[in-house]
Amino acid sequence: MSAGRPFRGCACFFTDNIFVGRFGLHVRYRDEPQLRRDHGRALRERGCRSEEQFREVLREIEAEVQRRKQLPHQSVERRAIISKCYKPKHPELYTLQDSFLAPEFLEIERFCTSPGADLQGLLSYLESFSDKRIYRLPVFTEQFCQALLEELENFEQSDMPKGRPNTMNNYGVLLNELGMDERLVTPLRERLRPLTALLYPELGGACLDSHRAFVVKYALHEDLDLSSHYDNAEVTLNVSLGKEFTEGNLYFGEFNQDPSPVPQYIEVEHVWGRGLLHRGGQVHGALPIASGERWNLIVWMRSSAIRNRLCPMCRRKPELVEAEGFGDGFTEGEEQPQTVSVCALG
């Protein structure tokens, strides 16, 4: 495992998978000629037809690149201010307790850590969707979801500095900046590892050693939906926290490494307190909500043993750059195992 070694990012973060929201397109950006050459046709097909529109896209992309370059420094500053000045409404939530977890989750955890636990036995506890290896399971209690939403709204209404979850979500909370990473999210990831070891062994499910966790919010006049994309993760956990809302189902397409000329999509409803586990590379999105507010906890779980060989975002050997905290889950300075079967659960 990577204990004691700093986590890194991949340099592609500054050039690849830049989302042009108004045209619903992810692009790679090196310079203007490359953008025109590689993405000009797709942009025109989506309505970017005038030179002025292209210039607006170019300005938007360059601003996003600069934002990404400033992220580590700004995130450190925000965390310091929040740690010093923010008064939590429910400080007890910041340390994971068994009472936060649904009884069914604890039962699944006991099975997965018992002698002889296997995939078929685990699947009997889970709800499976088609052949896409998407699984639903109870995660949190109603009381915890309600208290967490109260905490998030308390933070949202405060005058604390706030970072956006990612380029596609403008509303939500970065849990590492709020101070929930070390004692809440990290123990949750570690307790999920016996499950992911059985469900996703080829993705390093037994050695998920870092994560990025955030909460996203959808509401009328704010973010309504989410365009198709895949996650910077080996395995993703997506938990519905509430509140009251209509529509807004998730949809899932193909695995990004198995392109299909005619993708087959399935819709999955949100169920309060329950989480979806899926491969990070599974193409997915969210349909628009019609009313109310929808909050979801997202945990991108990563395995350095897997991604050190190939960055999941640029599909190249990672070009490592310094990063804060867990970075993007890459590590250096240690020979990687030849197979993920040697990953330890401890």
* Domain-located, residue 124: yes
Per DSSP, the residues of 171-229 read SEEEHHHHT-IIIIIHHHHHHHHHHHHHH-GGGTGGG--EEEEEEEEEETTS---EEEE
| Listed residue (71, 51, 64) closest to 25, CA to CA | 64
Q: Domain range spanning residue 180? A: 88-342
From first to last of its 346 residues, the chain has per-residue pLDDT tens of 445 679 999 999 999 999 998 898 999 999 999 999 999 999 999 999 999 999 999 999 999 999 999 988 999 999 999 999 999 999 999 999 999 999 999 999 999 999 999 999 999 999 999 889 999 999 999 999 999 999 999 999 999 999 988 767 777 899 999 999 999 999 999 999 999 999 999 999 999 999 999 999 988 887 777 778 899 999 999 999 988 899 999 999 998 766 665 678 999 999 999 999 999 999 999 999 999 999 999 999 999 999 999 999 999 999 999 999 999 999 986 544 443 343 544 3
* Domain-located, residue 240: yes
Q: What is the pTM of this model?
A: 0.90
* Domain-located, residue 103: yes
Helix (H, G, I), strand (E, B) or coil at 145: helix
CATH number of the structural domain spanning residue 286: 2.60.120.620
Question: How many structural domains does the chain have?
Answer: 1
Segment holding 254, helix H or strand E: strand 250-255
